[in-house]
Amino acid sequence: MPEIRRVSTATNPDTGAAGTTAAAAVSSVARPAAPVHARKPEGFSVAGKALPRADSYAKVTGAAIYADDIALPRMLFGKLLRSTQAHARILRVDCSRAQALPGVVAVATGEELPVRYGILPSSPDETVFAIEKVRYVGEPIAAVVADDELTAEEALNLIEVVYEPLPAVMTIDEALRDASPKIHEESRRSDNVHKEVHLEFGDVEAGFAQADAVFEDEFFYEGNTHAAIEQHAVVADCSADGKITIWSSSQTPHYLHRIASAVLQVPASRLRVVAPPIGGGFGGKTEPFPHELAAAHLARKTGRPVKFALTRQEVFYTHRGRHPVKMKIKTGVKRDGSILACRLQTWLDGGAYGSYGVATTYYTGALAPVTYKMGAYAFDGCRVYTNKPPCGPKRGHGTTQPRYALECQLDKIAGALGLDAAAYRKRIAIDPYSETINHLRVTSCGLRECIDEVERRTGYSGRHGALPRGKGIGLAVSAYLCGAGLPIYWNPMPHSGAIVKVDRGGGVTVYCGTSECGQGSEHMLAVVVAETLGVDVMDVRVCAGDTDLTPVDLGSYSSRVTFMAGNAAHEAAESVRLRLAQAAGALLGIAPERCGFAARRVFDVGDPDRAVTFLEAAQAAEARFGTLVGSGSYTPPANLHGDFKGSGVGPSPAYSYTACVAEVGVDLETGEVRVERLTLAHDCGRALNPDIVEGQIEGSAYMGLGEALLEESAFRRDEHKIPNLLDYKTPTILDTPHIDAIIVETDDREGPFGAKEAGEGPLNPVIPAIANAVADAIGVRVYATPILPESVLRALDASPSGRLRLKSAPSPVPV
């Protein structure tokens, strides 16, 4: 179990325990009213405990049924024909020979599913199969379903596609050119720009003018992909009454439900989407995909169940991963480092379609000021289309790249001004319960405490700049959302709904539309409900990720589940608890408010030995009030960004904070960087289950390491260079250093039992911390990710001290 530091100073000011130390004095900024969820007066019984997850039993024994484990009688296997061209006009698609192959049951092409869709209503630029044009190598053109997978595969070879090749646009710079070949002809622009954002908060130019020093840097963050171990899979079935069911490894079953209804042209009520347990998503399964919609279409067309299971190569084409982003950052500071003005410019390589790209573009600008006070802030974002697999959200969605740029530049500023980079960051850190320069509302904030913790563990301040050449230590911090404050579709609407049912037998069921993608979301909901009702976590059955059975939840992305679905489940459980307290209070002869709930008992908080069992309370309450069902929902407050609408998709009801120290060794001969230790302190609000939070910190650290040093979506001409896990280098256990995960607990006033997020935030500071450590080790800076040995060697070559020259011939680079 990880070490937990409880930050009383960041405690919810609304509930009394005010901060006492000057360092983290509660900000005096006016706090907008927000619903304060009832706290349990008697302390916690299951929240905060490192309990085993109910779903872990099935997972470690291999009993869990993932999408690709589903097999239905008479099931057909589907395969997608994918484009071999990055950019081409489709002159003809002839499936007749494929259709004639024995064992092939049906084929489908673009004209059967002409509805254009996009996960964001503002970017409806996709169809299930390419129509008229293909826009990247790997784009689906047609589908075949057959009695077996090999036959379907064979039939793909019999489909004839006649292309008229067009020039491919493969880089941001090419896409920005006026003369660039148009990827989406319907765009009214002369270039391939998909989305531009220009925001300014305060007078940035005035800030630069007043500054003692102005720093300007350019960084490039390479794209990379999720590399979840489970490849996407879907099974669809159309029942005898015409109702379609889709089981898919989807983080967002309700979005798939909505878009499948539009694309297949069936009422939503005649469509059911179920998300089985997911073997990792990381954002890569958060929007509807052609294979999902094709499966549903072909199940309806054939009257038989249809499975599509993507190969690893297809997963690379499906992508929707991290955008490559070119960034310019200009920061004006006073002599003491205080930021007077900051201008961030980002150019995102979006690939061929919109995906969540509009949101990604906003995100590249939104969260920089959530960690630091700034006098003025301007943001210019620009996303372009290119002829590559579409980019989308990956853990840290859009905030990872600018965080890298910002934290690297801050290290340069600290160095230039002679400041200790840790103390400097603490000094300019945002205050709890304050507002950022871009009008985002901050609630709890344990950022300073996180910095303290990693400093305490690593001795960063004493060691930075003082290690032998080839050894380095780097620090970075970050903040992340607890779900987006604005919904994708209507506004206002609840982002999460939940139902809680208490049975006559003492069992509790919680229904929620989230999907369990390995992060422990179902356990979190069970903890919130069990804590509220005072039962065992194993008494709570979670029914999740099923559009028929669960209320709408936007899905398992954007680090929103614990916070938003947790709040909905909490509200639902509270409404049942109220009735239980009335019934138990009557049995005990005390007021309902005096009822405590723990250990399957309802007791008098003034005299805990006076109690009835939970079962007795449930039966008495059911007799009195009828079936014990409560519902709850969570809608973020409306004023998360003050009066300033232009804050776009940035607002979140709360933000997590992380600090990371990386310790590295750089082989000055080969340029290889080895991370020796990663120390992360993460403010997740209340840690509802410290083991799960620790797991999320470790997983984020591991993934960040891969992005910093190894992973890249590399293209050779117009084709993905390494669409396989042999060549796409995610870290192995041998690459993974010791990770120290420290939990800094704040008590967020709006999170369920004070909880915030832990699933994404810890990733962001890892990359700049490693970059800063490498700079510390070699004395020069690499301005792009991943920091490959050749980049290190190039940087060393350009530096005054240069690389360590070999006496003999160089040995092969061991990466």
Question: What residue ranges bind a copy of itself (CB under 8 A)?
Answer: 54, 57-58, 60-61, 63, 239-242, 254, 257-258, 261, 267-272, 490, 492-494, 497-499, 501, 503-509, 511, 535-536, 538-541, 543, 547-549, 551-552, 568, 619, 622-623, 626-627, 629, 631-633, 635
Residue pair 765/680 in contact (Cβ under 8 Å)? The answer is yes
Min dist. Cβ of residue 486 to a copy of itself (A): 14
Residue closer to a copy of itself (CB basis): 579 or 781: 579
Min dist. Cβ of residue 537 to a copy of itself (A): 11
Cα(153)–Cα(169) distance, rounded to whole angstroms?
A: 30
| DSSP result, 512-572 | E-----SS-HHHHHHHHHHHHHT--GGGEEEEESBTTTS--B--S-TT-IIIIIHHHHHHH
Six token digits for residue 700: 């984020």
Min dist. Cβ of residue 456 to a copy of itself (A): 39
Residue 94 DSSP SS3: strand
Residue pair 756/444 in contact (Cβ under 8 Å)? The answer is yes
Min dist. Cβ of residue 682 to a copy of itself (A): 28
**β-sheet bridge partners, residue 126:** 117
Residue closer to a copy of itself (CB basis): 156 or 499: 499
Residue closer to a copy of itself (CB basis): 57 or 644: 57
Min dist. Cβ of residue 300 to a copy of itself (A): 14
Catalogue the E-assigned strands of 334-443.
339-349, 377-384, 434-435, 441-442
Min dist. Cβ of residue 54 to a copy of itself (A): 6
**β-sheet bridge partners, residue 104:** 146
Six token digits for residue 752: 């369920």
- Lookup result for tokens 């980002």: 346
**β-sheet bridge partners, residue 607:** 604
The answer for residues whose C-beta is within 8 angstroms of residue 660's C-beta and 6 or more apart is 454, 475, 476, 477, 478, 678, 679, 680, 681, 701, 704, 762, 765, 766, 769
Residue closer to a copy of itself (CB basis): 237 or 694: 237
Min dist. Cβ of residue 533 to a copy of itself (A): 11
Min dist. Cβ of residue 691 to a copy of itself (A): 16
Residue closer to a copy of itself (CB basis): 291 or 501: 501
Residue closer to a copy of itself (CB basis): 400 or 567: 567
Min dist. Cβ of residue 522 to a copy of itself (A): 12
Min dist. Cβ of residue 242 to a copy of itself (A): 8
Largest CA distance in the chain: 89
Min dist. Cβ of residue 288 to a copy of itself (A): 14
Min dist. Cβ of residue 120 to a copy of itself (A): 17
Terminal alpha carbon distance of the chain: 33
Name the helix (H) or strand (E) containing 656. strand 655-666
Distances 351 to 558, 706, 719 between C-alpha atoms, Å: 21, 22, 12
Residue closer to a copy of itself (CB basis): 35 or 810: 35
Cα(633)–Cα(804) distance, rounded to whole angstroms?
A: 61
Min dist. Cβ of residue 540 to a copy of itself (A): 8
Residue 100 DSSP SS3: helix
| Phi, psi of 620, rounded to the nearest 5 degrees | -65, -40
Residue closer to a copy of itself (CB basis): 440 or 535: 535
Instruction: Kindly tell me the burial class for residue 597, based on how many C-beta atoms sit within 10 Å of its own C-beta (0-12, 13-18, 19 or more).
Output: buried
Residue closer to a copy of itself (CB basis): 270 or 334: 270
Cα(279)–Cα(290) distance, rounded to whole angstroms?
A: 20
Cα(433)–Cα(653) distance, rounded to whole angstroms?
A: 11
Residue closer to a copy of itself (CB basis): 467 or 629: 629
Residue closer to a copy of itself (CB basis): 38 or 722: 38
Say how many C-beta atoms besides its own lie within 10 A of residue 184's C-beta: 16
Residue pair 682/755 in contact (Cβ under 8 Å)? The answer is no
Rg (CA), the chain: 27
Residue pair 799/490 in contact (Cβ under 8 Å)? The answer is no
Residue closer to a copy of itself (CB basis): 122 or 269: 269
Residue closer to a copy of itself (CB basis): 505 or 814: 505
Residue closer to a copy of itself (CB basis): 46 or 130: 46
Min dist. Cβ of residue 591 to a copy of itself (A): 24
Angle separating helix axes 253-264 and 290-302, nearest 10 degrees: 50
